[in-house]
Amino acid sequence: MRDGGRVTGLEEALVAAGFVGVERVGDVVFARDGAEAPEFTVEGLRFALRFPVRAGEAERTVWMRAHPAGRLDIVEGETRLVMVLPEGADLAKALAVWRGLVRACARAAVGWRRRERPLHGM
């Protein structure tokens, strides 16, 4: 399950904060906000989650103004949410911020998807 049975403070903090599916593979930690939620990664101090929709530049700009702790970019045609923690950040507080960003971006992604495919019943 976890890489060599080694559990880090990050993994413990994720579990304590209620994240599920917490697993380390090498230097990457994988987790989910809930059983049905998409998987995100943590590499060092960088949290990232990709959404299978391409938010337009204006949509990303508006979203980032409303959520300055998160950055949105496009990777391989998908919208990626990224949050980078500063060195020495309070991890428990940062995880609460991350959870809020993930949920806000998931809600926005539904709108972006509807804009892309208005004729498909979404």
Asked whether the beta carbons of 8 and 29 are under 8 A apart, the reply is yes
Measured CA distances, 112 to 17, 49, 82, 96 (Å): 29, 16, 18, 24
**Higher-confidence position of 120 and 76:** 76
Looking at residue 4, its pLDDT comes to 47
> For the purposes of burial, counting CB atoms within 10 Å of the CB of 77, is it exposed (0-12), middle (13-18) or buried (19 or more)?
exposed
Tokens 């993930």, located at residue: 102
Give the structural domain span for 72: 3-116
Q: How large a percentage of the chain has pLDDT more than 70? A: 89
* CA–CA dist 86, 95 (Å, integer): 13
Please check whether residue 49 lies inside any domain of the structure.
yes
Residue 3 DSSP SS3: helix
CATH number of the domain that 86 lies in?
Answer: 3.30.1460.10
Indicate the number of domains in the chain: 1
For residue 18, give the 3-state DSSP assignment.
coil
Q: What are phi and psi of 119, to 5 degrees?
A: -95, 0
Q: Residue 49: beta bridge partners? A: 81
Asked if the model's pLDDT at residue 94 lies above 80, the reply is: yes
Asked whether residue 47 is domain-assigned, the answer is: yes
Give pLDDT tens digits for 96-118: 999 999 999 999 999 888 877 65
**Would residue 122 count as lying in a domain?**
no
Rounded Cα gap, residues 76 and 39, in angstroms: 17
At residue 3 the predicted structure's pLDDT band, cuts being 50, 70 and 90, is very low
| Span 67-88, pLDDT tens digits | 999 999 999 999 999 999 999 9
Instruction: With a cut of 50, say whether residue 2 has pLDDT above it.
Output: no
